[in-house]
Amino acid sequence: MANRGGFTNKLGFILAAAGSAVGLGNIWKFPFEVGDGGGAAFVVMYLAFCFLLCLPVMVTEIAIGRKTQRNPVGAFKALGYKNWAFIGFLGILCGVLILSFYNVIAGWAFGYFIELLMGNFEIGNNFSEFTSNILKIGLYSILFMGATAFIVSKGISGGIERAAKMLMPALIIMISCLVIYSFTLPHAIEGLKFYLIPDLSKIDGNAVSGALRQAFFSLSLGMGALITYGSYVGKNDNIVSSAVYITLTDVGIAFIAGLMMFPLVAFNNMGDMTNLQSGPGLIFVTLPSVFGNIGPVLGVIIGAFFFLLLSFAALTSTVSLLEVPVAYIVDEFNVRRARAVILVATIIFIIGLPSLLGNGYSDFFSNAFTIPFFSDQPSSSDFLSFMAGTADTLLLFGGFFIVLFAGYIWKKHNLDEEISFGYANYKNSFARILINLGVTVVGPILLFLLFIVVVLNNFFGIDLIQKIF
């Protein structure tokens, strides 16, 4: 096999994996999920899922990758379990689906950066006009896919790691400046109260399953992205501590994004947090007018800064999404990296066309599906939202099979042995108990149950959790 390359050191890996984790999921999705799911109550559930369930899954993915030094499909084959390679195929499918719509939203974010740079604060009121302007958003999304492809074509240390080393520190500095600024605005405190004081009445099946799906999506789990990145990690690195740093960075940035967002919204609504614009509109509809209210010069600076930040965060994630199918083609078919990148990026862009067209330009794709399928109150959903919902449900399914495989097929002692490289004391550690429990008991049971809950809820309109409790 040709030299696959690798991360130069542990920090390079942590930054690249944290870059994959931190993305639109943290800055665009997390705040509105919190808003919909009961504020702080949602945050507490989310944190519990991240550390008790997702962390063991993350370590397992990295361990499988490092042990085999292969892409997700090749990894299961290399371990000698050809029949389990379907998990890898499922992961690649998820990666392709996610990137196909994610790139569209990332293109919007980049487009907003340009619009705000030109002082167009009205863009929020014209969001649907913007998303139906196919020439504009088509161009932005081609640019975004092009930037992603360029980075991935440069390989692991020269492309992915290098980009993460520039973009991640920039992102952390930018978001910190924005938080400090948003705290100084009038009514910041009302926004923070909404964000930080739990409303237990909002916890239902939707909120619980939403918290787990959000955790999985945000940590880039369940589709082999971390098997792939793990395959480029050195044998002497401690993968448990790496996983803890990655999780802390991801959770930290999501939390900080909320600290930034809600004071801005409260400022705009003069402290009234009742009729919030929920869903995707929170960022694309509400924020531009907030920036407009800040004033013409400062508003342009802060607004453009914000959407540039969002674009940076998205870019380190699209890179990891593209790397999964690219690694598969490079490893398994011996195709040169640059060729594989062009091929895969083009195919994914084409698969993304319905999502690109489905926000106003094409009537058909804008109302493509009526979900839940068998419910009394179905509502029509655009193609992009449908893809997003389907892909993050599939991640739970993928995660379920990964832990099942590690716990019962590959077996705990092999997992333990791989994790022990770079962590001599692992066998006597608390982490081992958590991880073993995660892959044998907590993970398989919880992921299976929640997968069923989510499928019934999303696609059939049945709220199982509310029915039981």
CB of residue 213 to ligand PFF, shortest distance in Å: 11
The DSSP result for 423-458, as a single string, is: -GGGGGSHHHHHHHHIIIIIHHHHHHHHHHHHHHHH
**How many helices (H) and strands (E) in the chain?**
25, 2
132 close to 363: Cβ distance less than 8 angstroms? no
Nearer to ligand PFF, 393 or 440 (CB): 393
Nearer to ligand PFF, 226 or 368 (CB): 226
Report DSSP state, residue 372: S
**Of these, 20, 103, 209, 385, which contacts ligand PFF (CB under 6 A)?**
20
Closest by CA to 405, choosing from 350, 390, 397, is 397
Beta carbons within 8 Å of 365's beta carbon, 6+ residues apart: 354, 355, 357, 358, 382, 383
CB of residue 66 to ligand PFF, shortest distance in Å: 17
Position closest to ligand PFF via CB: 25
Nearer to ligand PFF, 190 or 323 (CB): 323
CB of residue 317 to ligand PFF, shortest distance in Å: 4
- How many CB atoms lie under 10 A from the CB of residue 69? 17
**Of these, 182, 209, 220, 440, which contacts ligand PFF (CB under 6 A)?**
220
Alpha carbon of 302 to those of 107, 118, 291, 295, 311: distances in Å?
19, 12, 7, 10, 14
Residue 361 is encoded by which pair of tokens? Answer: 């330009």
Number of residues that bind ligand PFF (CB under 6 A): 16
Nearer to ligand PFF, 26 or 71 (CB): 26
Q: SS3 of 2, please?
A: coil
Q: Is residue 98 near ligand PFF by the rule CB under 6 A?
A: yes
CB of residue 405 to ligand PFF, shortest distance in Å: 18
CB of residue 442 to ligand PFF, shortest distance in Å: 21
Which helix H or strand E contains 332, and what residues bound it?
helix 296-333
303-322: contacts with ligand PFF (CB under 6 A): 317, 320-321
Nearer to ligand PFF, 26 or 436 (CB): 26
Closest by CA to 320, choosing from 243, 404, 393, 231, is 231
- How many CB atoms lie under 10 A from the CB of residue 193? 15
The DSSP result for 205-224, as a single string, is: HHHHHHHHHHHHHHTT-SSS
CB of residue 296 to ligand PFF, shortest distance in Å: 32
CB of residue 98 to ligand PFF, shortest distance in Å: 6
180-219: contacts with ligand PFF (CB under 6 A): 217-218
Q: Is residue 71 near ligand PFF by the rule CB under 6 A?
A: no
DSSP bridge pairs for 165: none
Q: Is residue 231 near ligand PFF by the rule CB under 6 A?
A: no
Nearer to ligand PFF, 220 or 440 (CB): 220
Q: Is residue 163 near ligand PFF by the rule CB under 6 A?
A: no
Nearer to ligand PFF, 248 or 433 (CB): 248
Q: Is residue 100 near ligand PFF by the rule CB under 6 A?
A: no
CB of residue 53 to ligand PFF, shortest distance in Å: 16
- How many CB atoms lie under 10 A from the CB of residue 301? 15
Beta carbons within 8 Å of 159's beta carbon, 6+ residues apart: 150, 151, 152, 153, 319
405 close to 87: Cβ distance less than 8 angstroms? yes
84 close to 408: Cβ distance less than 8 angstroms? no
Nearer to ligand PFF, 26 or 238 (CB): 26
**Of these, 6, 14, 26, 31, which contacts ligand PFF (CB under 6 A)?**
26
CB of residue 228 to ligand PFF, shortest distance in Å: 9
Nearer to ligand PFF, 261 or 456 (CB): 261
CB of residue 251 to ligand PFF, shortest distance in Å: 11
Q: What is d(CA 79, CA 10) in angstroms, rounded to the nearest whole number?
A: 24
Nearer to ligand PFF, 101 or 121 (CB): 101
Q: Is residue 344 near ligand PFF by the rule CB under 6 A?
A: no
Can you give the binding site for ligand PFF, defined by CB under 6 A? 20-21, 23-26, 95, 98, 217-218, 220, 223, 225, 317, 320-321
